[in-house]
Amino acid sequence: MRGEPSRPGEFELIARHFRPLAAKYPGALDLGDDAALIEVRPGWRLVATADALIAGVHFLASDPPSDIARKMLRVNLSDLAAMGAEPLAYLMTLALPSDTDEAWIAAFAEGLAADQAQFAIVLAGGDTVATVGPLALSLTALGQVEPGTELRRNAGRAGDVVLVSGTLGDAALGLRVCRGELAGLAPELRALLVQRYRIPEPRLALGRALVRGRLARAALDVSDGLLADLGHICETSGLGAVVEAGRLPLSPAAQAALAGTPQLIGDALGGGDDYELLFTARPSWRGRLRAVQSHVGDLPITRIGIVTRDSRLTVRTAEGDRDLPAGFEHFR
């Protein structure tokens, strides 16, 4: 992004760096036609989601370009996972300041190539434009799901248990490390937390297992923070929930951070960017839960609370219950 621009024209850039990302997808037409042709399995439904990222707002222009690319792809894949969809293809729009050099674009494309291979998704098209503003990126991910099996936010019921995948709070703690906090933590633990902030893991296998195993009633991915996102399930389902703080799944790195500073539990309750799946299920569906667990290997699935009839969100701690007002986005 620095120095004199050394960059070929738009068509040449697309041909060199983006066409290889579309090579395995016949419907991309080698990025050589006016639009892509997307095939969905007969009887399945197309699932579409988009996210935009602006330099200086969502990432720093100095961040590694491959990390920016991978995070952009992965947050969209997380939305597909949260719908229970299988990934198909993505479209990508780049608004590039004139000083973006080709090395930046090459590294950006390398990040995409690595994740395409890992998550079975391909580039199908997009747009590339010049901008007088900051670097701006937008990615639209397309997936497919059997109609009627989509994981929706609004399907929770009173008495459901609340379950979450993986561990919570790592990304928020990783952001603290990036800002120079948590200096007392061992370097390898700090690195793990930063990694979780920079490169989230979309829980695609879990999303598909939830659909096939008919386990989830309501589901979404935790992007804004556990309480805010559980709040979305509660609002759309017209219900409340009790979360037991002592049950929140914490990584060894997060446990080490909390051992020194117990208030950091707020990062597990309120911190964003974890991209775990949060869902509700009938408490009696133990067999279904075991079946789903068997499809996701080591990924833990933890019961952290219960859905209630009144529309309050309550955090239960050793010190007692704490009710959160509606719109608890600003907990922390």
**Contacting positions for Mg ion (CB under 5 A):** 127
Torsion of CA 161, 227, 265, 67, to 10 degrees: 110
194 token code pair:
């930063």
Site residues for ligand ADP, 199-258, by CB under 6 A, read none
Within its chain, how far is the Cα of 299 from the centroid?
15
Near ligand ADP in 73-92, by CB under 6 A:
92
d(CA 164, CA 306): 12
- Residue 275 binds: one of Mg ion, ligand ADP, none (C-beta under 5 to 8 A by kind): none
Q: Is 6 left (phi over 0), alpha (psi -120 to 50) or beta?
A: beta
**128 - beta bridge partners?**
94
Q: Which does 31 bind (CB under 5 to 8 A by kind): Mg ion, ligand ADP, none?
A: ligand ADP
Residue 34 binds which entry of ligand ADP, Mg ion, none, with Cβ cut-offs from 5 to 8 Å by kind? ligand ADP
Q: Is the dihedral of CA 210, 115, 138, 55 positive or negative?
A: positive
Assess 94 for contact with ligand ADP (CB under 6 A).
yes
| CB closer to ligand ADP, 126 vs 202 | 126
Q: How far is the CB of 125 from ligand ADP (least distance, A)?
A: 3
Does residue 14 touch ligand ADP according to CB under 6 A? yes
Minimum gap (Å) between residue 9 Cβ and ligand ADP: 11
CB of 29 to ligand ADP, least distance (A): 7
**Residue 136 C-beta: closest distance to ligand ADP, Å:** 12
Least spacing, CB of residue 127 vs Mg ion, in Å: 4
- Buried b / exposed e across 61-70, counting CB within 10 Å, b at 16+? beeebbbbbb
Binding mask 27-66 for ligand ADP (x = CB under 6 A): ----x-xx--------------------------------
DSSP code, position 16: I
Sign of the CA dihedral with 78 first, then 83, 89, and 93 last: negative
CB of 69 to ligand ADP, least distance (A): 11
Question: What are 326's strand-pairing partners?
Answer: none
Three-state DSSP class for residue 307: strand
What's the min distance (Å) between Cβ of 65 and ligand ADP?
14
Q: Considering the complex, state which of residue 37 and residue 130 has its C-beta at the smaller distance from Mg ion.
A: 130
Structure token pair of residue 163: 């379950």
Q: Are 145 and 44 in contact (CB under 8 A)?
A: yes
Closest-by-Cβ residue to Mg ion is: 127
Residue 139 token pair = 């990615």
- Work out how close the CB of 145 gets to ligand ADP at its nearest, in angstroms, rounded to a whole number: 24
Token pair listed for 8: 């070929």
For residue 78, what are its two tokens?
């997380």
Query: Could you tell me which stretch among 106-114, 125-133, 185-193, 300-308 binds ligand ADP (CB under 6 A)?
Result: 125-133
Residues pairing with 161 in the sheet = 281, 306
Which CB sits closer to Mg ion, 125 or 305? Answer: 125
**126 binding ligand ADP? (CB under 6 A):** yes
**At a CB cut-off of 8 Å and minimum separation 6, what does 301 contact?**
163, 164, 165, 206, 289, 292, 293
Asked if 127 interacts with ligand ADP (CB under 6 A), we say yes
CA 296-300-301 angle, to 5 degrees, is 90
Residue 128 interacting with ligand ADP (CB under 6 A): yes
* Residue 14 interacts with which of ligand ADP, Mg ion, none, CB < 5 to 8 Å by class: ligand ADP
The residue ranges that bind ligand ADP (CB under 6 A) are 14, 18, 31, 33-34, 92, 94, 123, 125-128
